[in-house]
Amino acid sequence: MADIPLPVVLQGSRCLGCKYRRLITSGSGSVFLLCQYGLVEESWPKYPSQPVAECRHFQEARIATKLGE
Ligand code: SF4
């Protein structure tokens, strides 16, 4: 898969280094950040407002991943 540029709003977001984040590319090429913590905790947003500066649920991702993985 070719690398897709990150939207400016995501650049510098705490989410990018978090194990819960998943980057989703729509059919039109828009990139969204899904917080998978929000899938297990209903009170947590699945699509948090970006950029996130600090987050109490942040957990460092151990392996860097590319878009869509
Ligand atoms: S847990 Fe927090 S830092 Fe991690 S992806 Fe969700 S909102 Fe971002």
Residue 58, both tokens: 């942040």
pLDDT in tens, 10-57: 989 999 999 999 999 999 988 899 999 999 999 999 999 999 999 999
At a CB cut-off of 8 Å and minimum separation 6, what does 5 contact?
none
Tell me, using a 6 A CB cutoff, whether residue 22 lines ligand 1: no
pLDDT of residue 38: 94
pLDDT of residue 6: 83
Q: How far is CA 51 from CA 1, 13, 24, 27, in A?
A: 25, 5, 16, 23
Run of H or E residues at 39? helix 37-40
Contact 66, 1 (CB under 8 A): yes
Q: Which residue CA neighbors atom 8 of ligand 1 most closely?
A: 15
- How far is ligand 1, taken at its centre, from the CA of residue 18, in Å? 6
Q: According to the per-residue pLDDT averaged within each range, which of 2-6, 7-11, 38-42, 62-66 is highest?
A: 38-42
- How far is ligand 1, taken at its centre, from the CA of residue 24, in Å? 15
